[in-house]
Structure 1
Amino acid sequence: MQIKYLMDENLPPIYQIQLRRKEPDLVVWAIGDPNTPAKGTLDPDILIWCEKYDFVLVTNNRSSMPVHLIDHLARGHHIPGIFQINPSMSLGETIEELVLAALASLDDEYCDRISYLPLP
């Protein structure tokens, strides 16, 4: 199954726009879009939404997201994955990494963990 992305509300909209432009068949939603969590939704609730709807979260939240993931897993929940944006990478490099991950990853390859870009 192909990865679906939920873009964190703190990421500039250009990430969503460029992902859709580069790979039009890729599902890329952003927090605040219709049928997604509203802007301002707490991170633990976003993780539950991602689990329920099978979306990988793309975020730049390096400080609290690891703690939220640990709590989420401790409660017996799961998540398809979290991709952490690298501020040292260009927009183009980031888009290429996300497209590659979506098209070439194995099922559950990123499940229940934070993966930092660039991917190994």
Structure 2
Amino acid sequence: MTTVRFQADADLKQAIVTGTIRREPNIDFQSANTAGLEGKTDKEVLAIAALQEKILVTHDRKTMPVEFAEFIMSQTSSGVLIISQNMPISDAIEALILIWEASTAEEWINQIMSLPL
């Protein structure tokens, strides 16, 4: 069983990444800046997250679900979490910590979920 790891998409509020790491320093949550995702297509971002075996965390409800569906037809994804722009940052942080604590990376393979539930 592998621990869940996260990759922030370029559109994800940085406060979610910072707050999650501040609350739980052991979480592996890479920022979009660190991963060099700025200007990359959804397909490229999905490939980078998959290569690093990280769940992609994004706010992109418009294009990401379609791109994800196409991506998993030919490749394996570590999963995608779409967090609503309207979800309070503190709630998003709590949800990510809960996912990290209560699930394994294997459970997220080729899965997409929106938060809040």
- The alignment's TM-score, normalised by the length of structure 2, stands at 0.91
CA distance in 1, matches of 2:105, 2:14: 27
Q: Gapped runs of 5+ residues in structure 2?
A: none
CA distance in 2, matches of 1:8, 1:106: 21
Kept in 2, the 8 Å contact 1:37–1:49? The answer is no
Q: Which moved more, 1:19-28 or 1:4-13?
A: 4-13
1:92 paired with 2:93, answer no
Match of residue 51 from structure 2: 52
What code does the residue aligned with 2:18 have? Answer: I
CA distance in 2, matches of 1:110, 1:57: 10
After superposition, where does 1:22-101 map in structure 2 within 5 Å? Answer: 22-33=23-34, 36-75=35-74, 77-101=75-99
Kept in 2, the 8 Å contact 1:37–1:46? The answer is no
Q: Report the structure, 1 or 2, having the larger helix content.
A: 2
Identity score, percent: 25
**Deviations 1:19-68 (CA, angstroms, capped at 9, x unpaired):** 110100101111121xx233111110111111111010000100111111
What code does the residue aligned with 1:4 have? Answer: R
Q: Gapped runs of 5+ residues in structure 1?
A: none
Q: 1:38 to 1:107 in 2, by over 3 A?
A: closer
What displacement does 1:98 show?
Answer: 0.3
**Deviations 1:64-91 (CA, angstroms, capped at 9, x unpaired):** 111111111122x011110010233211
**Deviations 1:89-109 (CA, angstroms, capped at 9, x unpaired):** 211111000000011103422
What code does the residue aligned with 1:29 have? Answer: Q
RMSD over aligned Cα atoms: 1.3
